[in-house]
Amino acid sequence: MNQNWHQGIVIGIAFLVLGGGSASFAQDAEKVKETVITSKRFEYDAKRNQAKFEGNVVVVDERLSVRAEEMLINFTSAHEVRTIYAYGDEVLIHQAGRSAGCRVMTYDVEDGNMVLKENAWVKQGDNVLRGELIRIWRDSEKITSDSNVTFRIYMNEGEGGGSILPSGN
């Protein structure tokens, strides 16, 4: 397997949920030891700079996991991840302390914009944001939902509770 292509997937998947600015990205990429992607079928199209995983796709590394029925990864001509699409009856993203789900997830690495569509939700602790479309911006730590929104917040007495909202720090 082409080493540049493998590194592109590792870096792209690490960015999927972890986020962070470009300086911290380089540090985070060095910390990623192994990313394992399993599926029933795999196809790489070098002419289109595209990898497709089909059937029970599971991505696991030490900081996150993603499950989907299918995943499509588009690369630049320099073999860097450009976009990631995951779709299925329920795409699940898990990271320590938080999780998200939807039917269609798109992630644009360059602009740091993740879009969760169709029965989308983000959960941290007992707090849950639901909507038909949820946008998460990696660099600005911004999250929006503007379609059939339900935001259920549980506050711990005296502590202010946890929040799925960015800290603003």
Cα separation of 162 and 150, whole Å?
A: 17
Enumerate residues 6+ apart whose C-beta is below 8 A from 92.
65, 66, 67, 68, 99, 100, 101
For the cut 60, the answer to whether the pLDDT of residue 5 exceeds it is no
- The pLDDT tens digits for 45-78 are 999 999 999 999 998 887 678 999 999 999 998 8
Q: Read off the tokens for 104.
A: 């269609």
Positive or negative CA dihedral for 75, 64, 16, 73? positive
Model's pTM, two decimal places?
0.70
Cα separation of 133 and 39, whole Å?
A: 27
* CATH 3.30.70.1230 is right for the domain spanning 3-152: no
Q: What amino acid occupies position 11?
A: I
pLDDT of residue 18: 38
Map residue 39 onto helix, strand or coil: coil
* DSSP code for 33: -
Spell out the alpha helix ranges (H) of the chain.
3-18, 22-31
Q: Read off the tokens for 21.
A: 């600015």
- The pLDDT tens digits for 119-140 are 999 998 888 999 999 998 877 7
* DSSP code for 155: P
The mean predicted confidence, pLDDT, of the chain is 78
